[in-house]
Amino acid sequence: MENLWPTSFEEINVKPAKQILDEQAVLLPKLTGDMVYAQIAKIDAEMEVFEDHYNDFCYTFVLKGKFLNNYSFKVFNFSHEIALYPIKIHLDELLAKELNTNISIEIRNEAHFISILGKTLNSNRIKDVVGSIIKLSSSTSSPMQWKRP
């Protein structure tokens, strides 16, 4: 039988959304004196259904405080099939409102993702959240001083 496969395969020349977010996550602690950091974590199957993500690759992008062990702020969830784009994003409700967009949006390509991500990270909502995490982390990191009445 003759070979029905193409004569060659080439790697797709775009950055996956997760890689772009990983690069941005490295920058945040430097900007906040190591008080706030970002994590990109795989979403479990139960949460995929709840968040309406039925794709092969599902992640959440959250902000956390150095001394706020049990708190994380979900910026958005995102998912895609084996093809790197389009990706489906489910934004924080107040963030979507500020950006004047739907909570769920489809991102067509890498340039579109970078554009949306830039607007997201520079939004007042994210500035407020990061500022609050810094304040709460710094107040929790130092021991409380109690004065007797």
Tens of pLDDT, residues 60-103: 999 999 888 889 999 999 999 889 999 999 999 999 999 999 99
Number of structural domains the chain divides into: 1
Domain presence at residue 131: yes
Please indicate, yes or no, if residue 7 is contained in any of the structural domains: no
Q: Tokens 């784009």 appear where?
A: 85
This prediction has a pTM of 0.83
CB 110 within 8 A of CB 14: yes
Q: Which helix (H) or strand (E) holds 69?
A: strand 68-80
In a domain, 23, yes or no: yes
Q: With contact defined as beta carbons under 8 Å apart, do 50 and 59 qualify? A: no
- pLDDT value, residue 148: 42
Residue 69 lies in a domain: yes
Q: Does residue 5 sit within a domain?
A: no
* DSSP code of residue 67: T
Which amino acid belongs to residue 63?
Answer: L
Residues near 20 by beta carbon (within 8 Å), at least 6 away in sequence: 110, 113, 114, 117
Domain for residue 68, yes or no?
Answer: yes
Mean pLDDT, residues 29-57: 78
> Cα 61 to chain center, whole Å?
2
Does residue 51 register a pLDDT over 80?
A: no
Residue 76 is part of which domain span?
17-139
112 in a structural domain:
yes
How confident is the prediction for the chain on average, in pLDDT? 88
**Residue partners of 125: CB distance under 8 A and separation at least 6:** 92, 94, 95, 98
Res 3: pLDDT: 92
Is residue 134 situated within a structural domain? Answer: yes
